[in-house]
Amino acid sequence: GESVGLHLPTLSVQEGDNSIINCAYSNSASDYFIWYKQESGKGPQFIIDIRSNMDKRQGQRVTVLLNKTVKHLSLQIAATQPGDSAVYFCAENIRGTALIFGKGTTLSVSS
Amino acid sequence: SQTIHQWPATLVQPVGSPLSLECTVEGTSNPNLYWYRQAAGRGLQLLFYSVGIGQISSEVPQNLSASRPQDRQFILSSKKLLLSDSGFYLCAWSASPYFAGELFFGEGSRLTVL
């Protein structure tokens, strides 16, 4: 089964708000994590990644935080826009050759 | 630049019929290749991955199989489809030989088994 999971299956926010999507992982040996965005009917697209020797990484409007003590990963999206509406997946690398994905959080942004 | 192609985009098949989904990658050599399945409203389930020609690792025992006849070609097959095989199948590749790293996904193949 999947070792990566998300706390909430859905998240609804207003345009302009900041969004926080959470993910818990169970394998303390995981050393690499990625956030993906999947729009309806399309393949997932890379958003941002982080290695286990870091606790924070920033991209354009997105920040990923990693708390290894509690095995928790979060994705923060600043000034959320309608185009951010999608399903967001966290994924971890625990076996060295493949990423294991969580179930995903559906982000809905209303104007 | 690298591109990944997956076909067919949609497929409707009767139970018990065979399946063949193809995936090719262009612009890179010796990629790691992956097949994932996404059931409706669920996450991505890793089915197979390959680190080289003829090398296939199966993550989930089932009636599906995968083959890698060429460096940049990955094929997902079944001899007899089940209703539970319906889903969105995604092919992906990564460049790193040692760990998955960033995965680049194709546009997916939606399979409906009736």
Tokens encoding B17? 């019929």
The answer for A23, left when phi > 0, alpha when psi is -120 to 50, beta otherwise, is beta
- The residue with tokens 């680190």 is B51
- The arithmetic mean of pLDDT across residues B73-80, rounded, is 97
Q: What does the alpha-carbon distance between residue A55 and residue A74 come to, in Å, rounded to a whole number?
A: 10
Q: Which of B5, B34, B44 to mutate to test the interface with A (most CBs of A within 10 A)?
A: B44
Q: Residue B46 and residue A99: Cβ atoms within 8 Å?
A: yes
Burial label for A69, CB within 10 Å (0-12, 13-18, 19+), is exposed
Lowest mean pLDDT among A42-46, A70-74, A91-95, B88-92: A91-95
Q: Residue A99 and residue B106: Cβ atoms within 8 Å?
A: no
Query: Looking at beta carbons, which residues of chain A come within 8 Å of B92?
Result: 43
Tokens encoding B56? 């296939």
- The arithmetic mean of pLDDT across residues B84-90, rounded, is 94
CB B83 within 8 A of CB B73: no
| Nearest chain A Cα distance for residue B99, angstroms | 4
Query: Looking at beta carbons, which residues of chain A come within 8 Å of B103?
Result: 34, 36, 44, 46, 91, 99
Pairing of the two strands B104-105 and A19-25: unpaired
Statement: residue A102 has pLDDT above 90: no
Listed residue (A19, A18, A98, A33) closest to A72, CA to CA: A33
| Nearest chain A Cα distance for residue B51, angstroms | 8
Query: Looking at beta carbons, which residues of chain A come within 8 Å of B90?
Result: 43-44
Q: Which of residues 63-102 of B touch A (CB under 8 A)?
A: 90, 92, 98-102
What are A89's strand-pairing partners? A36
Statement: residue A4 has pLDDT above 90: no
Burial label for A103, CB within 10 Å (0-12, 13-18, 19+), is middle
Q: What does the alpha-carbon distance between residue B110 and residue A81 come to, in Å, rounded to a whole number?
A: 28
Q: Residue A49 and residue B102: Cβ atoms within 8 Å?
A: yes
Q: Residue B42 and residue A104: Cβ atoms within 8 Å?
A: yes
CB A10 within 8 A of CB A105: yes
H helix or E strand, kind and range, residue A8:
none
What share of chain A in percent tops pLDDT 90?
67
| Nearest chain B Cα distance for residue A32, angstroms | 8
* Whether residue B8 has a cis bond before it, omega within 30° of 0: yes
Average pLDDT, chain B: 91
Quick: pLDDT tens for B28-69. 989 999 999 998 767 888 899 998 999 998 888 689 999 999
Q: Residue B99 and residue A102: Cβ atoms within 8 Å?
A: no
SS3 letters across A23-91: EEECCCCCCEEEEEEECCCCCCEEEEEEECCCCEEECCCEEEEEECCCCEEEEEECCCCHHHCEEEEEE
